[in-house]
Amino acid sequence: MKSEGTKNNQGVLYIIATPIGNLQDMSFRAIEILKQVDCIAAEDTRHSLPLLQHYAISTPTFSLHEHNERDRAGIILDRLQNGESIALISDAGTPLISDPGYFLVREARGLGIRVIPIPGACAAIAALSVAGLPTDRFIFEGFLPVKTKGRVDRLTALKNESRTMIFYEAPHRILDLLQDMQSVFGQEREVVIARELTKKFETTYSAKLTELIPWVAQDTNQQRGEIVVLVSGTTESESLIPAAELLTLLLENLPLKQAVDLAAKITGERKNELYEQALLIKNKKL
C-alpha cells in the first residue's frame, strides 16, 4: 500500500485504534487501511482474529507485544524502509495507551518513517466523557504497581493532584486499589468506576470512597471485566496543610498569639478555635 506524502519510497506505519468491546465502533477508515496494508502487527493475533474475520480482513498478521517488541522492531523497520506499509493494533482501544508500540513508533520516527494515527476508541477517554468529573484538565496514570507499597507510594505522590486522575485496574485488584485510595485520599474523595465500556454489562457508578468500597465488595459482578477508575482532583481546601499541623510548625518559631493569627489568615478558620488547638499542642510539648 502506497501512501500520499511518503518519502524515498518508504512505507507507512499506521497506528490503528480498534473497538474496546462493541465491534460496531470500528471506523470505516480503519477497516479500509487494515485491508490494504501489507501486514498487521497485532498485540495478540488470536485475540484480534474475531475482529478481522468480522470485517473480512485477510491481511497477514504477526504478533508484537511487550515481550518481543524490541526484537521485532528491527524487522518491521526494515520492511517499512523497503516500501511496505504496516498497521499496528492492540487487543482493544488505541495502541500505546497502556499497550505496546512506544519503542517501535519512536524508532520509526527517528528514521524519518511516516507514522499516521487512525483514531478511534480509547477506554480512558470514553470513561472520562461520561464520568461527570472535570474534563478541562486530567492526567492518565494507567496501571499502578501490583504490590501494595508501590501502589500506595504512587497514590501518595498524587495526593495533592488537582486534575481528574484516570487509572486502569485489573478486576481482581479493584478492591485493593479502592482501599488504598481511601487510606491516601480520604473517605470523601469522589471516584467513578467505568466497567465493561461498550459491552453488554457496561456500568458507570460514582460515589465517595466510603460508599463505593462497600458497593463493590457486596456485588462481585463489579469485580469483573475491564475497569477504568477515575478520581476527582483535590480541592484547594483539601490541599492545604491541616490546621493542627500548621500550628505545630508555627509554634516552633513564633509566640502563641502570633502563630494563631497567622494560622487564621492561612486556613480561614476562627481564631478562638485555633487558639484552643494551639494551647493543646503547647501543653503536650511541656
In whole angstroms, what is the distance from residue 178 CA to residue 196 CA? 18
Q: What is the DSSP string of 95-156?
A: TTSSSS-HHHHHHHHHTT-EEEEE----HHHHHHHHH-S--SSEEEEEEPPSSHHHHHHHHH
Please classify residue 104 by burial: count the beta carbons closer than 10 Å to its beta carbon, then call 0-12 exposed, 13-18 middle and 19+ buried: buried
Pair (215, 261) in one structural domain: no
What pLDDT does 5 receive?
41
Pair (138, 185) in one structural domain: yes
CATH of the domain at 132: 3.30.950.10
For 159-190, what is each residue's pLDDT tens digit?
Answer: 889 999 999 999 999 999 999 999 889 888 99
For 42-72, what is each residue's pLDDT tens digit?
Answer: 999 999 999 999 999 999 999 999 999 999 9
In whole angstroms, what is the distance from residue 68 CA to residue 64 CA? 6
Q: Which three cell numbers stand for residue 183?
A: 487510606
Per the structure, the count of domains in the chain is 3
Pair (169, 225) in one structural domain: yes
**Full residue range of the structural domain in which residue 46 is found:** 12-121
Contact status, residue 19 vs residue 26, Cβ threshold 8 Å: yes
The three-state secondary structure class of 20 is coil
Q: Mark which of 121, 152, 181 sits at the end of a domain.
A: 121
Q: Mark which of 61, 95, 121 sits at the end of a domain.
A: 121
Q: Which three cell numbers stand for residue 280?
A: 493543646
For 128-161, what is each residue's pLDDT tens digit?
Answer: 999 999 999 999 999 999 999 999 999 999 988 9
CATH of the domain at 22: 3.40.1010.10
What pLDDT does 244 receive?
77
Q: Give the number of other CB atoms < 10 A from CB of residue 164.
A: 21
Pair (111, 166) in one structural domain: no
